[in-house]
Chains A and B, each alone.
Chain A
């Protein structure tokens, strides 16, 4: 018994240390929530004063964004639609490419090829968005304008294509994880029943991983909607209401680009300042909506979770 005492002390020290570490992790978890709430409070505080001079309807449905006119107009409709256009365009390009790429990496590529492909795709994510912007401004935009016979090389589609490339690494990497998480037995059973490789991928593996694939798409969407520098450089930033599919071939402006472009020189506390924060609040709510929707849908979907 004389020897048991020090062991006991060691145990209790370890227990104290463990509970301290637990607390720290707990605090770290709560801090994330606190930060989000603080950001929300800050956005609300800086954006709500705009309602003193402008009604919500006038802001959201207003067709003219003229911050330096007299009187200034802060119609956000062209910017909201601009953001939706560019983001949806980016998803149309990036979802098939990203999911296809993930299927290839996870299901078809040999282990050696997979070892090369995965880091290469992840490297796409390491390219700063300003570099994509440069490529778009100097190469992709003028080139597309030439082959599509457009008057100018800065338009919505350039932004959508570049955003697609920015979203692809996120989509591929999450999709690939989801596909790899599908148990081997699923594939083996399917193949044993006489299904071809393609039938197995299309009817067994992908359906089994669909909640993960959906999460990947939404994460890519979140990445695309918040991207600023690239769209600021290549879309022309003309706050015009995009009308129909043709609008992809014309200059347009997104919410993020307008905030980045105009926040630097706006007078602190002016209507313009509050209006820009209102745009920020809208973006915040949009990403919040995307994550809530993805949470609900993923929870409802049967299948293997990534």
Chain B
């Protein structure tokens, strides 16, 4: 098998908190502290009256779990990893539900899944000094939102035949329109 990757869409991972949370932005460093267990209380990251942080993560079978680890937790320090105390949920929906119901919770989900039961935080890129960036079509596509990634289709070698037809369709205006409809961000 010779894997061949073809970018098909952009995706941002949105950091979400309960709507009652007063924060509107957070830095990559603070997020890393939270998920690696260094920061345990909301007062450690500048919000008062919320008590302990309930860090919600996806489970290790999820691609988002790995993406978030690479792009956030290990950004300030390669040796960091998820703390055992993170609550692991099996789907984007479960993260949404839990964060929506839990006052002190923070979670992350694919931008396509965000709804109004939760509040999306702006993220300050590593190193600070720059303003917080909210995930949006333009900030994800130009990578200025720090937790952006490409989504790929994989083929065995250079695609041919029906596989090629399918991929060409996915990259066409018609395919990209569907990418947008389901909440992901088009390549162009």
Contacts and interface: CB of A to CB of B under 8 A. Distances in A.
B139 interface: no
A273 to B, nearest CB: 12
A238 B87 contact: yes
Interface stretch (B26-34, B101-109, B120-128, B129-137): B101-109
Interface stretch (B6-14, B78-86, B141-149, B175-183): B78-86
Contact of B54 (A65, A151, A262, A264): A151
A151 B51 contact: yes
B83 to A, nearest CB: 9
Chain B residues touching A, range? 20 to 34
Interface in A171-193: none
A251 B85 contact: yes
B168 to A, nearest CB: 29
A253 B82 CA distance: 15
Contacts of A78: 84
B50 to A, nearest CB: 9
For chain A, which range describes its interface: under 10, 10 to 19, 20 to 34, or 35 or more residues?
20 to 34
Nearest to A235: B87
Contacts of B75: none
Contacts, number: 69
Interface in A222-269: 232-233, 236-240, 251, 253, 261-262, 264-266
Nearest to B103: A151
B61 A261 contact: yes
Interface in A47-106: 64-69, 78
Contacts of B62: 265
Interface string B62-99: 10011001000000000001101111111000100110
B173 interface: no
A154 interface: yes
B101 to A, nearest CB: 5
Given A261-B61, A264-B61, A238 B88 contact: yes
Contacts of B101: 142, 153
Contact of B85 (A232, A233, A238, A262): A238
Nearest to A64: B84
B60 A151 contact: no
Contacts of B61: 261-262, 264-266
Nearest to A66: B81
B25 interface: no
A150 to B, nearest CB: 10
Interface in A189-225: none
A232 B104 CA distance: 22
Interface of B: 51-52, 54, 59-62, 65-66, 69, 81-82, 84-90, 94, 97-98, 101-105
10 contacts: A68-B65, A151-B52, A151-B54, A151-B103, A153-B98, A237-B59, A237-B88, A253-B88, A261-B61, A265-B62
Interface of A: 64-69, 78, 137-138, 142, 145, 151-154, 232-233, 236-240, 251, 253, 261-262, 264-266
